[in-house]
Chains A and B, each alone.
Chain A
Amino acid sequence: MNAAYSPYSPLRIGGIALRSRLFLGTGRYPSPAVMREALEASGAHVVTFAVRRIDLDVAEDDPLLGQMGGKDLIYLPNTSGASTADEAVRIARLAKEAGLGNWVKVEISGHPRLLLPDPAETLRATERLAREGFTVLPYTSDDPMQALRLEEAGAAAIMPGGSPIGTGLGILNPYHIGWIVENAGVPVIVDAGLGSAADAATAMELGADGILVNTPVAKARDPVAMAAAMRLGVEAGWLSRQAGRIPRRAYASASSDETGALFAEATSARGGRP
């Protein structure tokens, strides 16, 4: 690819220039080996994790981080499992003690079936963690006002969901995502709900700075191929956005000039209008 069209004009978050605009989740893959291959195929620089209790009854090895060995990655632990700001702050502080950086995705679910974020608690946690020096990326619904509030609270990037986590419904409200992008002073990463590479491209065309996917890759029939497709979808969408799409029009406009068309007279006689 011509360097001038490189999709990697770097996205900067928390002072770091990222190699990729695709963030990859690490949950629900058929096996750790598939996860590792998918990670490779995705080209992702930022990978997400959850924090959970160790099962002390089972002697197990480090199940996940072993797969990351030696790679130069940015670790983005989430606070899933928290339903209040206090719980999210506790999880963030624990995650930081892993010694793998100070990024955290604030994720505070307010409803068991929708897993939509609790806006008040998310705002509170973002504010506290940003003050403690974390690089905070809050997961939020596609509410433009909440996005502004989170930015004021110190978020390093805003992560609005396209649709509820794991649904694969894609971007249900492109108008809101577009509005958030237009008004944000920090990067916008569309997170949650995307189903395929087309959704990835759509998000980028709407002006998102990046996307985060997990389930659509991990649960695809071929996770590694889908990881590659997502990478291409992000690149295509990004380039398309930079290139500037044509305006939508109500009527056709031919690709060639009509001057010199062979059957112009006949068409006219049949009642065709110019």
Chain B
Amino acid sequence: MTRRHGVLFIVNDDAELALAADADGVHLGQADLPLNEARRIVGKSMLIGISTHALSQALKAERDGADYVGVGPVYPTATKPGRQAVTTAYVAVAASQLRIPFFAIGGISPATAEEVLAAGARRLCAVSAVVGHADPAAVCVTLKRSIERWEAEDALRRSQSLSIAENAKRTEAARLGKTEETLNAPAVGTSEAPNAAGTGIPLLLNGKRTWCESVSLGALAGALGLAGRRVMAELNGQAVPRADWDAVPLCPDDRVEFVQFVGGG
């Protein structure tokens, strides 16, 4: 039936059944069969997806050869009651860190879709909002239109940002030229100028231009002596759970914030 309509058929949880049914793919949960095990059963050509609830799980899935991941539940959902929502913060981190496709899932409806798309998702998965609605087809059309609108805007932005990136590179080169006399930075950690070896990447760290040798958010926190402290971190406007710090790589011009609780009313 799905083939007649040109739709992919993905079997949930059961790799053997997916193989027997000649399905297009199999979708795993975190508690199901490990990815490599499933891959061994279904072979190279079948799609494998896996639900993830944190960036570390998604990056692991990517490494282990998943074709796509689920990111969620973004909101509390009736489909999986009692599950902690990962919020659009995880959607945004996934959008910036994953190379394989991901689906935002959990509490997705026409009412929440805009926020999820704004966070960077371009694939949505909705259950309750569709099957629980008097007119499921209309809900699907609405969701599809929202996605298409964001994709169109992406395309527009891509064509404009090429020139912006070029400009930024030139500004950076000019700035580097001026600071060459102050190249006495320490070999590890951070500094206000690039080091002698010319390695390291520029960051905006707590609002200040900083050069950093660290490859991950976790390594940067370590270099700053924040490892044992109750500190929260934000990367490019998105809070990053501490458990994910080591898995989040730093890229040039990332905006990093390290914050803490202080006295207040």
Asked if residues B225 and A94 are in contact (CB atoms below 8 Å), the reply is: no
Q: Is A53 an interface residue (CB 8 A)?
A: yes
Residue in A50, A59, A191, A192 whose CB lies within 8 Å of B262: A50
> In the complex, which residues 207-265 of chain B have their Cβ closer than 8 Å to any Cβ of chain A?
207-208, 224-226, 229-234, 237-242, 257-265
Closest-CB distance, A168 to chain B (whole angstroms): 13
- Given A50-B264, A53-B206, is A94 in contact with B259 using a C-beta cutoff of 8 Å? yes
**Which residues of B have CB within 8 Å of A94?**
232-234, 239, 257, 259
> B232–A48 contact, CB under 8 A?
no
Asked if A49 and B239 make an inter-chain contact with CB atoms under 8 angstroms apart, the answer reads no
Chain B contact residues: over half helix, strand or loop, or mixed?
Answer: mixed
**B264 and A49: CB pair below 8 A?**
yes
Asked if residues B206 and A77 are in contact (CB atoms below 8 Å), the reply is no
* A78 with B87, Cβ < 8 A, contacts A54-B206, A94-B232, A94-B239 known: no
| 8 cross-chain pairs, A with B, having the tightest CB-CB distances, nearest first | A50-B264, A25-B265, A214-B265, A27-B263, A93-B239, A49-B261, A26-B263, A97-B232
Question: A273 in the interface, Cβ–Cβ < 8 Å?
Answer: no
| B89 touches A (CB below 8 Å) | yes
13 more A-B residue pairs beyond the given contacts A77-B261, A213-B265, with a C-beta to C-beta distance below 8 A: A50-B263, A51-B259, A51-B261, A52-B259, A53-B259, A62-B230, A64-B262, A90-B237, A94-B233, A96-B239, A98-B261, A133-B84, A133-B87
A172 to chain B, nearest CB (A): 18
A35 on interface, CB distance cutoff 8 Å? yes
Residues of A contacting B207 with CB < 8 Å?
53
Q: Which residues of B contact A (CB under 8 A)?
A: 75-76, 84-85, 87-89, 112, 115, 190, 205-208, 224-226, 229-234, 237-242, 257-265
Q: How large is the interface on A (under 10, 10 to 19, 20 to 34, 35 or more residues)?
A: 35 or more
Specify which chain A residues have a CB less than 8 angstroms from the CB of B233 in the assembled complex. Answer: 94, 97
A28 touches B263 (CB 8 A): yes
Q: Are B264 and A80 in contact (CB under 8 A)?
A: yes
With CB as the reference atom, state the residue of chain B lying closest to A90: B237
Q: Check A90 against B234 for contact (C-beta < 8 Å).
A: yes
**Contact residue among B76, B208, B232, B242 (Cβ-Cβ distance under 8 Å from A95):** B232
Min C-beta distance of B210 to chain A, whole Å: 8
B260:A54 contact, CB within 8 angstroms: yes
A131 contacts B by Cβ under 8 Å: yes
The answer to whether A62 and B263 touch across the interface, beta carbons within 8 angstroms, is no
Minimum Cβ distance to chain A for residue B141 (Å): 24
How far in angstroms is the closest Cβ of chain A from B232?
4
Q: Which residue in chain A gives the minimum CB-CB distance to B74?
A: A132
Question: Once the chains are docked, how many angstroms separate the CA of A8 from the CA of B88?
Answer: 38
Task: Report chain A residues within 8 Å CB of B262.
Answer: 27, 49-52, 63-64
Partner among B75, B208, B239 whose Cβ is within 8 Å of the Cβ of A97: B239
By the criterion CB–CB under 8 Å, are B85 and A98 in contact? Answer: no
A212 at the B interface (CB under 8 A)? yes
A33 at the interface (CB under 8 A from B): no
Taken together as a complex, chains A and B put the C-alpha atoms of A52 and B236 apart, in Å, by: 16
7 contacts between A and B (CB under 8 A): A25-B265, A26-B265, A54-B206, A62-B229, A78-B264, A94-B239, A214-B264
Residues of B within 8 A of A179 (CB): none
Once the chains bind, are B265 and A215 in contact (CB under 8 Å)? yes
Q: How far is the CA of A60 from the CA of B242 in the complex (A)?
A: 20
Interface string of A213-249 (1 = CB under 8 A from B): 1110000000000000000000000000000000000
Q: Is the CB of A90 within 8 A of B239?
A: yes
Shortest Cβ distance from residue B14 to the other chain A in the assembled complex, whole angstroms: 31
Question: Would you give the shortest CB distance from B156 to chain A, in whole angstroms?
Answer: 22
Residues from chain A with Cβ under 8 Å of B75 in the complex? 131-133
Min CB distance, B71 to chain A, in Å?
A: 15
Scan A39-56; emit 1 where CB is below 8 A from any B CB, else 0: 000000000111111101
One digit per residue, 1 when the CB lies within 8 angstroms of any chain B CB and 0 when it does not, for chain A 63-103 equals 11100000000010110100000000010011111111000
CA distance A147 to B24 in the complex (A): 53
Q: How far is the CA of A49 from the CA of B232 in the complex (A)?
A: 14
Which residues of the partner chain B approach A215 to less than 8 Å between Cβ atoms? Answer: 265
Q: Is B265 touching A53 in the complex (CB atoms < 8 A)?
A: no
| A49 / chain B contacts, CB cutoff of 8 Å | 261-264
Check B260 against A48 for contact (C-beta < 8 Å). Answer: no
* Closest chain A CB from B106 CB (angstroms): 11
Q: How far is the CA of A221 from the CA of B23 in the complex (A)?
A: 75
B79: shortest Cβ distance to chain A, in Å?
16
CA–CA, A54 and B85, complex, Å: 28
Task: Report which residue of B84, B89, B206, B260 has the largest number of chain A beta carbons within 10 angstroms of its beta carbon.
Answer: B260
A65 CA / B264 CA spacing, docked (Å): 12
Q: Are B237 and A52 in contact (CB under 8 A)?
A: no
Q: Which residues of A contact B225 (CB under 8 A)?
A: 59
Across the interface, do B224 and A56 meet the contact criterion of CB distance under 8 Å? Answer: yes
- Contact call B226/A54, Cβ cutoff below 8 A: yes
How many angstroms between the C-alpha atoms of A64 and B261 in the bound complex? 7
Cα–Cα distance between A63 and B231 once the two chains are bound (Å) = 12
- The answer to whether A25 touches B242 (Cβ under 8 A) is no
Residues of B within 8 A of A80 (CB): 264
